[in-house]
Amino acid sequence: MSFAFDDASPIYRQIADRIRGEVLSGELEPDKPVMSTNQYAAFYRINPATAAKAFQLLVDEGVLYKRRGLGMFVSPDAREKLRAERRERFFEDVVEPMLAEARSIGIPVSEIIRRIEVHEHEEQDE
């Protein structure tokens, strides 16, 4: 049944992650309405309280805001906020683990840097 979820973290967090992702990618636009908790619950076949918890989390984070009687909307600055957060966590979440992996299998840091520079040149050439 849990076609959409894994067991590693609470379902509401996985739903929140997915909505954050949609905001980041621009699928969910600022000041546009988000599907209701009930629609999410029906779509994922989950308890509506779980979906509501995800929404509450995002409201607390300022990604969504509530309009009385109208439902949830994407905050105007949500995308920018999420991007800033991701940038902050990028080194911790992506670079550090990569370096740890490189160390354990014996790839020197200098080689990684060289590879990155090659990529940068290619991008500039295009």
The binding site for another protein (CB under 8 A) comprises 1-2, 5-12, 38, 41-42, 44-50, 53
Of 44 and 79, which CB lies nearer to another protein in the complex structure? Answer: 44
3-class SS string, the chain: CCCCCCCCCCHHHHHHHHHHHHHHHCCCCCCCECCCHHHHHHHHCCCHHHHHHHHHHHHHHCCEEEECCCEEEECCCHHHHHHHHHHHHHHHHHHHHHHHHHHHHCCCHHHHHHHHHHHHHHHHHC
Closest to another protein by CB, 42 vs 84, is: 42
> Minimum distance between the CB of residue 10 and another protein, rounded to whole angstroms?
5
Indicate the residue among 48 and 71 with the shorter CB distance to another protein: 48
Shortest approach of another protein to residue 1 CB, angstroms?
5
CB of 6 to another protein, least distance (A): 7
Tell me the closest approach of the beta carbon of residue 30 to another protein, in angstroms.
28
Name which of 12 and 73 has its Cβ closer to another protein: 12
Q: How far apart are CA 71 and CA 52, in angstroms?
A: 11
